[in-house]
Amino acid sequence: MCKVTIEKVVDRKFCDLIYYSYICAMNSFKHHTKEEKMQAFGRLLDVQDRLRKECPWDRKQTNESLRPNTIEEVYELCDALMKCDDKEICKELGDVMEHVVFYALLGAEKESFDIADVCDKLSHKLMFRHSFIDWTGWEGDPKAELTDAPTDSTEVEMTWEQMKQKEKDGNKTVLSGVPSALPSLIKAYRIQDKARNVGFDWKHKEDVWDKVREELGELEVELNKQDVENSTRELGDFIFSVINAARLYHLNPDNALELTNQKFISRFGYIESKCKEQGKELKDLTLEDMDKLWNEAKKFDR
């Protein structure tokens, strides 16, 4: 750090220049050319090919054995995305990509498909679904009839649903495109969103609150009856209605719940740490003690 007096303006400006150069160097990002990107992807393919041939672990993998690892990697990517951690996002994207490459390699071994087929099918699907863009002259031009350009993202999504119905291998029904293995909360959001894209939605978003209150009332009735089976059904209906409300107000319920999860973990961790500082165990604290620490922890939420 340069130490300068107010009189040494030149020296201070020089220090500012050095510091600015240092910051730029620390935050520099190289934009790779298309050729460099292709070379990097080709290198990944070569590495994966060799691992499949020479690594005992890679040699024994199948679609079934890789599936749990793939789910874990995707969740790790989602965690990095929630934290807006670019370094971790880059790393986790690589892990997910490695699985994509691996599955394509397994497909090639069965002479079913390879990574080129994966990329080509994806490109064709993207071009076909964006029928408002003229792809004339592009390799793989789907020759789709040009449609009017949508004015916003909502119209784009509605166009996608219409194009999916026209695809040769597309969804047979509107909701068939929702993966059955999706976590229930995300699945509920996607179901509602897809229904919206074909016009099945509330005319006024404010009207959804009557439905939320109705479902809550029905849940309370079944809970008072101590009917576990019907209470479970009504709880599902209530949660579904809350997710619907979140969607109508352009809020992502999964992200919102995860933020609350992290907030609870942080606050509860604060209680645990304070408890240890006092040489106590959590069971030694009264509910009032915990509540006091909980309120203290709120100050550190942001």
pLDDT digits (tens, 9 = 90+) for 213-224: 999 999 999 999
Between 255 and 103, the more confident residue is 103
Is the residue at 85 inside a domain? yes
pLDDT band at 114 (very low <50, low <70, confident <90, very high): very high
Asked which of 112, 147, 172 is the last residue of a domain, the reply is 112
CATH number of the structural domain spanning residue 95: 1.10.287.1080
The stretch 226-242 carries a mean pLDDT of: 95
Task: Assess whether pLDDT exceeds 70 at residue 89.
Answer: yes
As a dihedral over the C-alpha atoms of residue 79, residue 80, residue 84, residue 90, rounded to 10 degrees, the angle is -160
Separation CA 145–CA 129 (nearest Å):
11
pLDDT band at 139 (very low <50, low <70, confident <90, very high): confident
pLDDT band at 165 (very low <50, low <70, confident <90, very high): low
Is the residue at 53 inside a domain? no
Q: Which two tokens stand for residue 127?
A: 């071009």
Of 42-51, 126-135, 151-160, minimum mean pLDDT range:
151-160
How high is the pLDDT of residue 9?
A: 39
Is the residue at 196 inside a domain? no
Is the residue at 89 inside a domain? yes
Is the residue at 161 inside a domain? no
Counted domains in the chain: 2
Q: What is the pTM of this model?
A: 0.60
Between 177 and 98, the more confident residue is 98
Is the residue at 133 inside a domain? no
Separation CA 176–CA 165 (nearest Å):
11
**Nearest-CA neighbor of 231 among 247, 241, 216?**
216
**Nearest-CA neighbor of 130 among 160, 158, 106?**
160
The stretch 117-139 carries a mean pLDDT of: 87
Task: Assess whether pLDDT exceeds 90 at residue 232.
Answer: yes
Task: Assess whether pLDDT exceeds 70 at residue 290.
Answer: yes
Of 130-134, 162-166, 280-284, minimum mean pLDDT range:
162-166
Is the residue at 217 inside a domain? no
Is the residue at 278 inside a domain? yes
Q: Which residues of 88-121 are buried (b: 16+ CB within 10 A; e: fewer)?
A: eeeebeeeeebbebbbbbbbbeeeeebbeeeeee
Between 30 and 20, the more confident residue is 30
Residue ranges making up the domain that contains 99: 65-112
Asked which of 112, 141, 169 is the last residue of a domain, the reply is 112
Asked which of 90, 112, 134 is the last residue of a domain, the reply is 112
